[in-house]
A and B are shown apart, each in its own frame.
Chain A
């Protein structure tokens, strides 16, 4: 190319803008702590916890509950047998419905 032509070419040269940089991939740095926190929460959730005192778990036996037992269809002997050594298992058997009974009142 003659020199003049090259100057003319340069004068008319319009440089193209560079290609845009590739968009950065969305950062997933937040994911790691989230997963770790969830795992920690799960571990803590499943840790064996000390049992609450028995009295906190026992359902107080009241006159109203006693009435619910005697009007229920359960044989009285069964209800008495279950009550006799109920201790911490007060929510069993024929006494089990009492909580629902009380709630529905």
Chain B
């Protein structure tokens, strides 16, 4: 009898397990990367495109609409993935520093294409779709940083800032600004899009740097503490200076990480104020 009950319970649990495994946003994102087409983005074109995304150059629809059209399927797949709560990139951390993390580069490209598509939609009067893409892009950006090392965190931060900047652009350039509903949607997405810097540095130390010595472990603990409490920065910098050269030369500069943290918080606060958050 007990065996029957156990078998029944296992049978009932199977679909749930299968559903959970399939509900991984990273799987959708990998599908999106597979159909992403950026071959025509030459280094010169990439430079122009980055200038547009940073607000240093105007968006020219005639220049980019073909690129956006070619990547429509990839972008739609991205947004289906961004609806999911769970994102596990499945990095093989057992490989240590040799673990492939190509998804970060691909995500950077796709995330930037998403922002470009927002400009395209705004310029063609499709504001509701543009707002959806901004909210979805912010969720995607947060997913990019999840479970990764510092480089993934930096990529996530870069994508979040680019999306926040575009929200400000939409609010400032759209006639009468965004609606209350649109603002509410974007505020929720902006508030939810954060980067876990401590987790990123933990991965950096444990997987990428593998500080086997006690000094290394102490340094890692000091680093994580300094991220939470910047008053410990000076002590951490001294510890890095006196650490074995092989380790010290591979430790990211903590002041740069803190700068990135502050920069992201500043961008988010500006957008919150612009959208009238209380």
> A interface vs B, CB < 8 Å?
60-64, 66-71, 76-77, 80-81, 83-90, 92
Contacts and interface: CB of A to CB of B under 8 A. Distances in A.
Interface stretch (B38-46, B127-135, B229-237, B264-272): B38-46
Nearest to B98: A62
A58 to B, nearest CB: 8
15 contacts: A61-B102, A62-B95, A62-B100, A63-B96, A63-B99, A64-B98, A67-B149, A81-B46, A81-B47, A83-B104, A83-B108, A84-B109, A85-B45, A85-B112, A88-B39
B149 A85 contact: no
B66 to A, nearest CB: 15
B250 interface: yes
A90 B109 CA distance: 13
Nearest to B51: A81
Nearest to A89: B43
Interface residues of B, number: 41
Nearest to B251: A71
B59 interface: no
Given A76-B260, A85-B38, A87-B38, A67 B208 contact: yes
Contact of B39 (A60, A84, A87, A92): A87
Nearest to A64: B97
B67 to A, nearest CB: 10
Nearest to B41: A85
A85 B155 CA distance: 13
A4 B105 CA distance: 116
Given A70-B151, A76-B260, A81-B46, A63 B207 contact: yes
